[in-house]
Structure 1
C-alpha cells in the first residue's frame, strides 16, 4: 500500500513514511492511493474476532511495510491499557446503540487512536535511532490522549497547544498534570482555530520541520484515521449480532471531520453503513455544508461541547479530495481560494452527492442540556455533551427502520458542569482521576504568535 497527498506533489510513500511525515510536505493530507474493499465473506470472517484481532485484520491492509508480528505487538500493547476487554463496547439504551469509546486512559475516543500512534512512533524511532518532536493543537481531548500516548517514551518530546480557558477543567488538568520531562503544555491566548493554524503553518515551514524532526498527532496523521476505522467495524459486528440488521446508521459528533471521515473510509471499504450522520453544535459549518453546500467560516461560539468549537475542519480536505474525484489540482485551487475567501462553493451535483453520503443537523446548548436530562430520566444513563449532540441529531435524522449507532466520545465526568446542570448532580469520577486537582501542574501561557511558539519549541526540542 502506497500513500499520496491530497495536493498531488507527494506520492508513493510507504505507510511508515506517511505516518512519520504527518502533514504532507506539499501542505496536503496523506491518503492511501487505493482503499481496499471487503466482500460479504470478508465481513463474515471478522465478526467473532477480539478487538485487537479485528484491528490487526483492518490495519494490516494499510500498514503493509510492518512485519505482521510487530504490528500485532503494537496493537496488543495499545489496547491492553483499556478498562473494558471489548475496548469499544456497545450498550443499548432507549432503542439506540451507544458505542462507548471512552474506556481508554484519558476517558475519550481519541485514546483509541493515540495509544496506537504513540506505540507506533516509539517503534519507528527505536528501530531507526531517530528522534521526534511532536507538535499538536487540541480543542479538548486530543491533547491529553496524545500526551498519555507518548509520555515517558524514548526519543520523543511533545508540545501541545490548547486555547486557554476554552477546554473543560478536567481536560485541562489531564494535560497539565503530566509533568514528564518530554511533555510541554502551551495555553494559547486565542481559539482552537488559532492554535491549529499555528501548527499547520509550522509544519509548512519545511526547513524548521526537518531541523527539529517534527511529527504530528492531530487527526492530520493518517494513523489516527486508520485506528478509528476499526471501531466502526466493531460497532457493526456487535449490532449485527444483536439485531440481524443488514445496515446501520451511525451518528457522529464531530467538528474536525476526522471521526466521521474514518466512518466514510469504513463505508468505502464495504461496511454496511446506510447513512453517516454528522452531528454538531452551534459551530455548524459542517452541517451547513452538508445541508446547504455552504462551507463558509463564521465566528467560533463557545459551547458546552468544546471539542466541536471549530470552524476550520482539518480533515475536510481528505473528503474534498474524493468529492473532487481525486483531482489534486482542483483540491489545490479550492484550498487556495478558501484561504483567501474563507468559503468554498459547490455545484448542485456535488451537493446532491454529499447528501447521498451524509445527513446532518446541529443543536444548541439548551437542546444539549435537555437531551442529557431527558435521556438520563428515561434510561438512567448519563451522556456527555458531545454524545448528547450525537444522540439528539441521530434521533432527528435517522431512519426508524435502521439500527442507530451513536458514538459516545467522552466519559461524562470530563464535562461535570454541563452534566450537573442537566441532571442535578455530578457524574461519578473514575478513581484514576479523583485527585487531579491536587496534582502538580506544568503549563506555559503563550501568545497566539507563530514565531513565539517556534522559538519555544526550538529551545526545548529533543
Structure 2
C-alpha cells in the first residue's frame, strides 16, 4: 500500500515511511491510496466474533500488505487486552464505552497500536532511536505516553497546554519518567500542535534526530480507531439494533470520526455520522456555510475537544473530494456550550442513572436532538467521567468514584519541562537531546 499527501505535493510513501515521518514533506497528511471493501460474509457473521478477531480482519485490510500477518495479529492482541462494550442509556440511544483501557480513554487503542507497529519497523530495519512528538489537549498525551512507556528504541515528548488539562489527565503523562518527557507549554493546544508540525518541517532538527508524531495526524494512530466502529456494529447487530444506525462522535482533532468514515468506506453499514463539537465549532460552521475558517481554540469543560484548527479536516475534505454536499450527506454537526454540557450530564444522570463525561455528553445530546424515527444511535463515550471528577460531580450532584488505576497516577511525582510557545525555544531544547 502506498500513501499520498493531502497536499498532493509530496512523493508517495510506504507505510513504514508514513508512520516514521508522521507528516508528509509538503505538510500534508498521509492517506492510503485505496481502501479494501470487506466481504459480505464478514458483515453477515460479525456479531459472532470477539473484538480482537474483528480488529485483526480490519487491520489486515489496512496493513496486511506491509506487515507480516503473524506480527500484525500479535500487535492487535497486545493492543486489545480490554473490551469496549455497548451500554443502553435510554430508548434507542447507546453508549460505546471506550474507557476500559490503561488510561481510561479511547486513545489507548491508537496509542498502543502505533507503539507496537513503530517498534516492529525499528526492529525490522535496525534503525536508530525514533523520537515521538505528540501534542495533547488531554487524553492523547496519556494514551500515547502509556502506550509507548518502556518501548525500546523510542522516546516520547508530550506537549500540553499549561493549566488547560485536568489534573488527572496531567498526572497520567507527567509522572511516568523513563522514555517519556512531558513539556508544559505556555499556550493552548493549537500552539502545541503548531510546534510539532514546525519541528517536522525543520531540516536541521530532522538531521539531528529522527522525528515522528503520535497525534492522529499519523496514520498508525488514527486508522486503528476504526476497530471501535466495527465492534459497535457487531454488538448492535447481536442485539438486533443495527438497522439505520447513527453514530455520534465527540470531535476535537477529528481523527476519531475520520477513522469511522474510513470504516464506512470499507463497507461498514453505518447510515450516517454526527460530529458533536463544544464551543470550538469550526467544523459545524463549515457545514452551515461551506467556509472553513480556523479559529483560536476556546477553553471549555470538554477540554479534549478544545481544537480550533482540527488537522484531520484535511482528510475528511480529501475523502469527499472537497464536495460539501457529499460531506453533508454523511456527516451532520452539533455544537454545545459548557452550560448545555452540564445540563446534559445532569438530565442523563437523573433520568437514566448513567454518568456521562463532558465529551460523551455532547455526543449523547446530539443523538437526543438529532435522531429521526426508526434510527438507533450510538455515541462514543470517550473517557471515564472520573478523569473530570470535579466538573462531573458539580454537574450531577453526586460523587464519582476514582478507579484505582487513576488514583495510582495521582500519587506519582510530577516531572515536566516548562516552555514558551516559541518554536526556537522548543527546537533548542530538542537539539540538546
TM bucket (normalised to shorter chain) is: over 0.9
Identify the match of residue 157 of structure 1 among 147, 150, 155. Answer: 155
Q: Verify the 8 A CA contact 1:97 1:239 in the aligned structure 2.
A: no
Residue aligned with 1:23, SS: coil
Residue aligned with 1:277, SS: strand
**Which residue does 1:42 correspond to in 2?**
42
Residue aligned with 1:304, SS: coil
The gaps in structure 2 that reach 5 residues or longer are none
1:11 is displaced (CA, Å) by 4.3
Q: Verify the 8 A CA contact 2:189 2:297 in the aligned structure 1.
A: no
Q: Verify the 8 A CA contact 2:208 2:431 in the aligned structure 1.
A: no
**Which residue does 2:304 correspond to in 1?**
307
Which digits, 9 at most, give the CA deviation of each residue in 1:178-202, with x for residues without a partner?
Answer: 122x111001000101111111111
1:27 is displaced (CA, Å) by 1.2
Paired with 1:30 and 1:190, the residues of 2 have a C-alpha distance of 27
1:56-455 matches, cutoff 5 A: 56-63=56-63, 64-80=65-81, 82=82, 87-95=83-91, 96-130=93-127, 131-180=129-178, 182-324=179-321, 350-455=323-428
Paired with 1:269 and 1:230, the residues of 2 have a C-alpha distance of 12
1:207 is displaced (CA, Å) by 4.2
Residue aligned with 1:451, SS: helix
Paired with 1:41 and 1:224, the residues of 2 have a C-alpha distance of 28
**Which residue does 2:51 correspond to in 1?**
51
1:45 is displaced (CA, Å) by 4.0
Higher alpha-carbon deviation: 157-166 or 450-459: 450-459
**Which residue does 1:2 correspond to in 2?**
2
Residue aligned with 2:102, SS: coil
1:244 is displaced (CA, Å) by 4.6
Paired with 2:201 and 2:55, the residues of 1 have a C-alpha distance of 32
Residue aligned with 1:243, SS: coil
| Shift in alpha-carbon separation, 1:284–1:244, aligned structure 2, 3 A | closer
| Shift in alpha-carbon separation, 1:46–1:16, aligned structure 2, 3 A | farther
| Shift in alpha-carbon separation, 1:244–1:432, aligned structure 2, 3 A | closer
1:210 is displaced (CA, Å) by 4.3
Residue aligned with 1:312, SS: coil
- Give the paired residue count: 430
Which digits, 9 at most, give the CA deviation of each residue in 1:330-361, with x for residues without a partner?
Answer: xxxxxxxxxxxxxxxxxxxx332221111111
Residue aligned with 1:61, SS: helix
TM-score, length of structure 2 as denominator length: 0.96
**Which residue does 2:14 correspond to in 1?**
14
Paired with 1:145 and 1:262, the residues of 2 have a C-alpha distance of 17
Which digits, 9 at most, give the CA deviation of each residue in 1:132-167, with x for residues without a partner?
Answer: 001111011000111001111111111110000001
Paired with 1:18 and 1:438, the residues of 2 have a C-alpha distance of 37
Paired with 2:240 and 2:45, the residues of 1 have a C-alpha distance of 18
Paired with 2:19 and 2:168, the residues of 1 have a C-alpha distance of 30
Which digits, 9 at most, give the CA deviation of each residue in 1:285-321, with x for residues without a partner?
Answer: 1111122223213332211000111111011111122
Residue aligned with 1:406, SS: strand
Paired with 2:156 and 2:384, the residues of 1 have a C-alpha distance of 24
1:267 is displaced (CA, Å) by 1.0
Paired with 1:184 and 1:391, the residues of 2 have a C-alpha distance of 35
Paired with 2:157 and 2:241, the residues of 1 have a C-alpha distance of 46
Which digits, 9 at most, give the CA deviation of each residue in 1:237-256, with x for residues without a partner?
Answer: 11111125333100000011
1:400 is displaced (CA, Å) by 3.0
Residue aligned with 1:296, SS: coil
| Shift in alpha-carbon separation, 1:395–1:147, aligned structure 2, 3 A | same
Q: Verify the 8 A CA contact 1:25 1:206 in the aligned structure 2.
A: no
| Shift in alpha-carbon separation, 1:25–1:210, aligned structure 2, 3 A | farther
1:398 is displaced (CA, Å) by 2.2
CA-based RMSD: 1.5
The gaps in structure 1 that reach 5 residues or longer are 326-349
Residue aligned with 2:62, SS: coil
Paired with 1:94 and 1:419, the residues of 2 have a C-alpha distance of 19
Residue aligned with 1:200, SS: helix
TM-score, length of structure 1 as denominator length: 0.90
